[in-house]
A and B are shown apart, each in its own frame.
Chain A
Amino acid sequence: MVQIIKNFFIALRQIAVGDKKYYLWVSFLSFFILLGASAYFGQLNKGLIITAMRDQVSWGLYISNFTFLVGVAAAAVLLVIPAYLYNFKPIKEIVLFGELLAISAISMCILFIMVDMGQPLRVWHILPVIGAMNFPASLLAWDVVVLNGYLAINTAIAFYVLYRLSIGKEYKMSVIGPLIILSIPWAVSIHTVTAFLYNGLSSRPFWNASILAPRFLASAFCSGPAIMLILFQIIRKLSEVEIDNKAIFKIAELIAYAMGINLFLLGAEVFKEFYSGSIHSAPIEYLYFGLHGHNKLVPWTWFATVMNITAFFLFLFPRSRENFTTLNMACLFVIIGVYIEKGMGLIIPGFIPDVLGEIYEYTPTMQEILITVGIWATGALLYTFLLKFAIPVYTGKLRFFSKAQMIAARDIMSRRVTTVRPETPVDELVKFMLSKHLTDTAVVDAGNKLIGTVSERDIISLEVGQSTGKTASDLMTAPTGTVPENFRIQELGKVLASNKTNLLFVVNDSGQPIGTIAGNDILKALENIRQE
């Protein structure tokens, strides 16, 4: 328990203490978090009427961001597959940072759902057993299950690995392996289920296309890794973490394939909608060309399309993806492109025109934007904290007290300690030691303070007959084999090795002997720890 509390404070200190740049960054994020929080407080007071959402367009910026971030979260799997399944070493070394990103992204997803709810205090109604989760009928219930499961899996993996590293041990694949394997289909599932959430609604022809889930996955494998590539470069620059260029270029190559598939699927969708030209193509028409003079999304859509296509080519050619200027440009383009395409570009046309043909054009209000920015800042802060802790653990700079380190001399000593006074005659001493089966004994003064030790060797080294008239004080050696009671177990071995005798005397603060430790006691303690 003490150990846990102590380690908690070590972690807390690691997060709370940083240099000037760190504080500046944290305050920068906190500023936006506060702005968002105050806007959210306004929303709690007045209701969702402060947003631009209405009955016609009943989901907006929040759900758009949620959808985009599910993709970012799922992208960790793009690192997990080469790292663990193909044992690609450069990526294996950084997969942890991807998992931490997934944790942050899912946390943001949950926040976006929370701020979108009309009755956030009733959130427990969605839970099984205590609430009335509509499982398996409602896809939203499925989403709750898979998103929280994904959060749990990634938290378990990341924190297990960090814990093992922090106590100076390798993580065991036998423990973490099954979870890692599970996280791969699970990442695909959070995407698929989120796509099905929209896909399953026959009322919204724009979403009711079976290509939606594959498109979700393809675009997720572009935007998520692109964010990671930029983060990796920042991590590499600001810390001692070494990230191999090979890892970065490999990920960039994977993005090229994912974007290729994404563009192909998008093309298939566009073809079907425009060529068949049924009334169900109204939303996509609104998206690309505008409908009945309403065209607020049109410039955004084309902007995103140009971004995505440009990025695709930049990622495709080894020359441009292995040049950091063009690589970073490509990452930025993909992030912006997919953010528009899979955010507002996916959610809003689902509602325009609405099911009765009305066109209500949605532009988020300032409060909505502030709340959204606030959640992004919260996610960034969470990721910052996670990294602030994870990086020094990862580079070996931060180590927790392990259980072994916490064990002190007093915990393993035997409390039986025999003492003699310095004026004890040697003959008496020999009889005393023989009767008690002692190899060593402590010599204490009137105040029970340890002033020396006598070992059987000291007595034997006396020539026969020379003992007459001698006392313990003549034989005793200065107390070299003594250790304070709070001495750590690791150090004990060293003292024992440098000591002539096999017995260490443990003394308290006032120098009084309170116990003894034999080499055997240390062995026993180490064995106990090992077995745990």
Chain B
Amino acid sequence: MEQNEQKNNGLNRRTFLQGAALGLASLALPFDRADASFWESFFQKHFREMNEAEIKNVLSRLEREYEEKYKKAIKIGNEKAMPGVLFGYGLDLSRCIGCRRCVYGCVEENNQSLDPQIHWITVLRFKKGEKWVDLENAEKYYNPEKVPQDEYFYMPVQCQQCENPPCVRACPTQATWKDPDGIVVIDYNWCIGCRYCMAACPYGARRFNWGTPNRPAEKINPKTHYLGNRPRYRGVVEKCTFCIQRTRKEPGRYPACVEACPVGARKFGNLLDPTSEIRYAIEHKRVFRLKEDLNTSPKFYYFFAYGK
């Protein structure tokens, strides 16, 4: 009897192993990653359903993966939203000169792919003296010798961090959500790449990794956040996070685009702090928000500090 049982077990184990091998072979589409870390990443849980220990595990695995890929240490943070903070952004259109330094400052800070090229900020150029913000006649690919050009004004657009974000509602897998400090974030390991959020976003703020993101190791910013600027994957969506890796980790620090702006057109701060720069701008300037009629309630305020 005992012998029989042993024999049975042996058979079962073997059939199981065969089955598992077949299963592996059929599922392991990315053959180059058919190792333990591939399966760990395949079965990784939703970020908000993991406990601290599980998150720690994931972060160290990802750090290992990135180090293997880029041959340099990359730190992935997981700073939570601070209580009493609601981030807001201001943009002074009267100052903006359309130089796109914010665009490239952002790319440098946030590890966007260089080829194919991904920008989180789009700067639009409008003709002065005709219409107000007339998107249909805006020019995104302007390329003059020198900016600013007298007859134009410029308007940078990035994620507006809506209080009522249509993208979050659209996402079928809850891979994108609004954190308590108002930042709309994406879990790049949970996004299935359906791009419904991109159809839902009224501001064209979301970018998809159509190809494999490429960025040379020496240009990788090693200070990252899980929900922010860590290197992304092919087939997932990404967007501006108000430089979550800076603004959460070092309270008071500006996002890269604010620092990059040579004319001080960009303001950033805590909307809940009555003494903040952004509160001053909102209270003292005539601010407006893009596509107010859609009721998305952006935390991104445009204004003209002076008429020119």
Task: Please report which residues of chain B, range 79-126, place their CB below 8 angstroms from some CB of chain A when the two chains form the complex.
Answer: 116, 122, 124
1/0 contact string of A127-171 vs chain B (CB within 8 Å) = 000011110011111001000000000000000000000000000
Q: A47-B209, A47-B234, A357-B137 are in contact. Are A133 and B172 (CB under 8 A)?
A: yes
Stretch at the interface among B51-59, B190-198, B268-276, B300-308: B190-198
Q: Which of A117, A203, A356, A357 contacts B193, CB < 8 Å? A: A117
Give the CA-CA distance A48 to B29 in the complex, in Å.
16
Closest B residue to A44 by beta carbon equals B29
Task: Please report which residues of chain B, range 161-182, place their CB below 8 angstroms from some CB of chain A when the two chains form the complex.
Answer: 166, 168-175
- CB proximity of A338 to chain B, nearest CB, Å: 22
Q: Which of B116, B166, B173, B209 contacts A125, CB < 8 Å? A: B173
**A-B complex: 6 closest residue pairs judged by Cβ atoms:** A118-B193, A118-B235, A357-B135, A49-B211, A203-B202, A140-B172
Q: Are A134 and B173 in contact (CB under 8 A)?
A: yes
- CB proximity of B21 to chain A, nearest CB, Å: 18
Q: Are A53 and B210 in contact (CB under 8 A)?
A: yes
Q: Are B234 and A203 in contact (CB under 8 A)?
A: no
Task: Please report which residues of chain A, range 113-129, place their CB below 8 angstroms from some CB of chain B when the two chains form the complex.
Answer: 113, 116-123, 125-126
Say which size band chain A's interface belongs to: 35 or more
Q: Is the interface of A mostly helix, strand, loop or mixed?
A: loop
- CB proximity of A264 to chain B, nearest CB, Å: 28
- Whether, in the assembled complex, B287 has its beta carbon less than 8 Å from a beta carbon of chain A, the answer is no
Q: A49-B116, A118-B191, A202-B294 are in contact. Are A355 and B204 (CB under 8 A)?
A: yes
1/0 contact string of B266-292 vs chain A (CB within 8 Å) = 000000000000000000000000000
Give the CA-CA distance A55 to B235 in the complex, in Å.
12
Contacts of B202 in A (CB 8 A): 202-203, 355
Q: Are A58 and B172 in contact (CB under 8 A)?
A: no
- Whether, in the assembled complex, A6 has its beta carbon less than 8 Å from a beta carbon of chain B, the answer is no
- CB proximity of B107 to chain A, nearest CB, Å: 15
Q: Which of A46, A121, A131, A353 contacts B211, CB < 8 Å? A: A46
Instruction: Number of B interface residues at 8 Å Cβ cutoff, please give it.
Output: 52
A-B contact pairs, 25 of them (CB 8 A): A46-B211, A48-B193, A48-B235, A113-B194, A118-B191, A119-B191, A122-B191, A125-B190, A126-B172, A132-B173, A132-B174, A132-B175, A138-B170, A140-B170, A140-B172, A141-B172, A201-B200, A353-B136, A355-B135, A355-B201, A355-B203, A356-B138, A356-B204, A357-B138, A358-B204
Give the CA-CA distance A355 to B159 in the complex, in Å.
13
Contacts of A54 in B (CB 8 A): 210
Q: A47-B234, A134-B173, A140-B170 are in contact. Are A358 and B140 (CB under 8 A)?
A: yes
1/0 contact string of A57-70 vs chain B (CB within 8 Å) = 01100000000000
| Centre residue among A49, A59, A113, A204 by max chain B CB count within 10 A | A49
Closest A residue to B173 by beta carbon equals A125
Q: Are B195 and A58 in contact (CB under 8 A)?
A: yes
Q: Are B235 and A47 in contact (CB under 8 A)?
A: yes
Contacts of B196 in A (CB 8 A): 138, 140, 197
Q: A47-B210, A117-B235, A121-B42 are in contact. Are A126 and B192 (CB under 8 A)?
A: yes
Contacts of A355 in B (CB 8 A): 135, 201-204
Give the CA-CA distance A405 to B157 in the complex, in Å.
73
Q: Which of B124, B173, B208 contacts A356, CB < 8 Å? A: B124
Give the CA-CA distance A132 to B44 in the complex, in Å.
12
Contacts of B199 in A (CB 8 A): 58-59, 198, 201, 203-204, 350-351
- Whether, in the assembled complex, B236 has its beta carbon less than 8 Å from a beta carbon of chain A, the answer is yes
Contacts of B201 in A (CB 8 A): 203, 355
Contacts of B27 in A (CB 8 A): 121
Contacts of A354 in B (CB 8 A): 204
Give the CA-CA distance A126 to B196 in the complex, in Å.
13
1/0 contact string of A355-371 vs chain B (CB within 8 Å) = 11110000000000000
Give the CA-CA distance A44 to B32 in the complex, in Å.
13
Q: Are A125 and B192 in contact (CB under 8 A)?
A: yes
Closest B residue to A131 by beta carbon equals B173
Q: Which of A116, A121, A201, A350 contacts B170, CB < 8 Å? A: A201
Closest B residue to A125 by beta carbon equals B173
Contacts of B157 in A (CB 8 A): 356
Q: Are A47 and B294 in contact (CB under 8 A)?
A: no
Contacts of A202 in B (CB 8 A): 166, 202, 294-295
Q: Are B192 and A122 in contact (CB under 8 A)?
A: yes
Contacts of B42 in A (CB 8 A): 121
Contacts of A138 in B (CB 8 A): 169-172, 196
Contacts of A116 in B (CB 8 A): 194-195
Q: A119-B193, A119-B235, A202-B202 are in contact. Are A55 and B174 (CB under 8 A)?
A: no
Q: Are A282 and B136 in contact (CB under 8 A)?
A: yes
1/0 contact string of B185-226 vs chain A (CB within 8 Å) = 000001111111011111110111111100000000000000
Q: Are A49 and B174 in contact (CB under 8 A)?
A: no
Q: Are B210 and A49 in contact (CB under 8 A)?
A: yes
Give the CA-CA distance A142 to B37 in the complex, in Å.
33
Contacts of A51 in B (CB 8 A): 210
| Centre residue among B29, B194, B295 by max chain A CB count within 10 A | B194
- Whether, in the assembled complex, B49 has its beta carbon less than 8 Å from a beta carbon of chain A, the answer is yes
Known: A47-B235, A350-B199. 15 other contacts (CB 8 A): A44-B29, A47-B212, A58-B199, A58-B208, A113-B194, A118-B237, A122-B192, A126-B172, A131-B173, A134-B171, A134-B174, A141-B172, A144-B172, A355-B201, A355-B203
- Whether, in the assembled complex, B128 has its beta carbon less than 8 Å from a beta carbon of chain A, the answer is no
Contacts of B61 in A (CB 8 A): none
Task: Please report which residues of chain A, range 26-63, place their CB below 8 angstroms from some CB of chain B when the two chains form the complex.
Answer: 44, 46-49, 51, 53-56, 58-59
- Whether, in the assembled complex, B72 has its beta carbon less than 8 Å from a beta carbon of chain A, the answer is no
